[in-house]
């Protein structure tokens, strides 16, 4: 017996230890607002980068302005291997100091910087300090951007250099030193790109200057005046040409700029007519475009797409659908350009409203996936919008919960796209009032304007504004793989029903078709209820993402 007990104890310890070791100390450093991060707040990044196309290396420096929230003196700066810090200068409490090499030590993808000139911790204040970090290296090359992050050193059809980056999830520290934590966005940023003079360099925001260095290179400066997340920083270098237009939006004139490869100009002038259509639909449903001061750009990219703030990456080959395919299988998805609509939708959910932790990425992807449905409804009607959304369910796997562990830079499964979009659609059906639902979407973008948030903040807001407690609905769809199942029986004109396969306390109303073929609400709980209803079969409104199961 002792041997058996010991064996099971060993098995228990083995499996619990294995689970605990699934995430490493490096994951915690990357994904949490730890000791080296929590004491300071980034206010501005001033990034200078020179691109060497001959050996695929970069070099430069980042001036990070910051405020001290609480006294401390050891700063965590993220820069992923094989990139290296060369030197560091600090400007703290009006003192400029060149740090010795032993004042910054490396731990994997993290550097810890100690300020030796201080006899005590940097005091908390509203004063702005800065640290300048010089670095160089050969950044990781993406195997399959944008899913596998890193640099893309490509060539266009004319064999001209075409270079960019995509690093969501992997992190911006793959190519420049920063506080690589989604919960802290700099309030503004500048990007100074030095590249060969025969190429065009594009970045976020608006172009400030372009200087010929008289050595075959040109330095182009771009700037954003709104908060921006690290992974949204981007550059595009290539043989670009430009055209644009003015969109008269809710907050006045908005510049729509299009930067495309020379060879794509004719196709782009036709396909990019989708942009003002997208903007009109999204401003109706989601509220004003969140970055009027920085404008909107759509830029040819050497990969499928990415929601880089005010400089959206486009690589959909000038086709409708998703590379010419309809992800819903209904045909509705072929009526519009998926990348223009989806990636631009992230300007509201992802860029305007950003999750503090990567684990809450459903806020980005679920709402943006649902924005496709809203776009379709605006132009093609509710019937086709519902068909599209319901058609996406075939892509749901339900193998893992949407929200993974917090604090370790863990990203949820692909179900955060289609499953959470269907959760939002289900919540919309329960609210049963599109005026209220639209006000909630617009209210989210107004209330959390240019902010980083948690899942709970979004959940609580929706419950408060709808006056319906959706806490158990969010718990069900986001933290479990179980889909609510309406268990029922029909006997002698009596419908008996209850929820099964649900979290404790789950009670969500659902619409069913009555004997006259009309939709009506029923209010199931985990306890069996009975209703006089003379129907031969139970049919639930398929806009609710639930299952049914008939029992004797």
CA distances from 452 to 183, 189, 309, 438, 524 (A): 6, 17, 15, 21, 36
pLDDT digits (tens, 9 = 90+) for 252-302: 999 999 999 999 999 999 999 999 999 999 999 999 999 999 999 999 999
- Assign residue 168 a region (left: φ > 0; alpha: ψ between -120 and 50; beta: otherwise): beta
pLDDT of amino acid 119: 56
Residues lower than pLDDT 70 in the chain: 1-21, 117-120
pLDDT of amino acid 117: 60
Supply φ then ψ for residue 51, to 5 degrees. Answer: -105, 125
pLDDT of amino acid 44: 98
pLDDT digits (tens, 9 = 90+) for 123-176: 888 889 999 999 999 999 999 999 999 999 999 999 999 999 999 999 999 999
pLDDT of amino acid 95: 74
CA distances from 121 to 34, 94, 534 (A): 17, 15, 75
Q: Which residues contact 99 (CB under 8 A, 6 or more apart)?
A: 87, 88, 89, 90, 113, 115, 116
């Amino acid at each position: 017996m002792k041997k058996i007990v010991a064996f099971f104890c060993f098995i228990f310890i083995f499996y619990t230890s294995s689970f605990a070791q699934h995430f490493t100390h490096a994951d915690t450093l990357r994904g949490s607002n730890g000791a080296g991060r929590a004491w300071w707040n980034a206010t501005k990044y001033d990034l200078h980068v020179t691109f060497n196309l001959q050996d695929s290396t970069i070099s430069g420096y980042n001036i990070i302005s910051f405020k001290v929230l609480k006294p401390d003196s050891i700063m965590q700066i993220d820069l992923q291997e094989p990139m290296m810090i060369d030197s560091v200068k600090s400007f703290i409490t009006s003192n400029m100091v060149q740090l010795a090499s032993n004042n910054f030590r490396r731990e994997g993808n993290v550097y810890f910087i100690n300020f030796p000139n201080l006899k005590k911790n940097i005091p908390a204040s509203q004063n702005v300090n800065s640290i300048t970090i010089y670095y160089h290296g050969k950044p990781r090359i993406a195997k399959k951007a944008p899913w596998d992050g890193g640099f893309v050193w490509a060539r266009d059809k004319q064999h001209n250099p075409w270079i960019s980056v995509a690093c969501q999830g992997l992190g911006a520290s793959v190519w420049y030193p920063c506080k690589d934590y989604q919960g802290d966005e700099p309030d503004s940023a500048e990007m100074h790109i030095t590249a060969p003079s025969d190429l065009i360099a594009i970045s976020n925001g608006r172009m400030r200057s372009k200087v010929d260095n008289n050595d075959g290179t040109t330095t182009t400066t771009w700037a954003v005046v709104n908060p921006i997340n690290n992974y949204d920083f981007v550059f595009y270098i290539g043989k670009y040409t430009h055209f644009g237009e003015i969109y008269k939006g809710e907050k006045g004139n908005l510049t729509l700029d299009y930067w495309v490869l020379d060879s794509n100009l004719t196709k782009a002038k036709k396909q990019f007519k989708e942009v003002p259509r997208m903007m009109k639909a999204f401003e109706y449903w989601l509220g004003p475009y969140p970055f009027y001061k920085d404008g909107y750009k759509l830029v040819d990219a050497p990969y499928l797409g990415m929601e880089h703030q005010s400089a959206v990456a486009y690589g959909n080959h000038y086709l409708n659908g998703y590379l010419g395919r309809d992800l819903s299988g209904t045909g509705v998805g072929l009526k519009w350009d998926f990348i223009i609509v989806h990636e631009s939708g992230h300007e509201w959910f992802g860029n305007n409203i950003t999750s503090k932790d990567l684990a809450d990425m459903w806020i980005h992807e679920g709402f943006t996936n649902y924005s496709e449905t809203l776009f379709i409804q605006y132009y093609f009607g509710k019937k086709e919008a519902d068909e599209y959304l319901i058609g996406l369910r075939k892509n749901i796997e339900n193998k893992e919960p949407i929200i993974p562990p917090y604090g370790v830079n863990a990203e949820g499964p692909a179900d955060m796209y289609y499953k959470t979009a269907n959760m939002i659609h289900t919540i919309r059906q329960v609210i049963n009032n599109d005026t209220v639902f639209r006000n909630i979407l617009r209210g989210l973008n107004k209330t959390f304007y240019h902010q980083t948030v948690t899942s709970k903040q979004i959940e609580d807001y929706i419950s408060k504004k709808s006056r319906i407690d959706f806490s158990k609905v969010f718990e069900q769809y986001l933290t479990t793989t179980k889909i609510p199942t309406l268990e029922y029986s029909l006997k002698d004109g009596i419908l008996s029903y209850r929820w099964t396969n649900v979290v404790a306390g789950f009670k969500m109303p659902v619409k069913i078709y009555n004997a006259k073929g009309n939709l009506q609400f029923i209010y199931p709980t985990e306890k069996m209820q009975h209703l006089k209803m003379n129907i031969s079969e139970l049919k639930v409104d398929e806009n609710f993402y639930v299952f049914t199961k008939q029992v004797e």
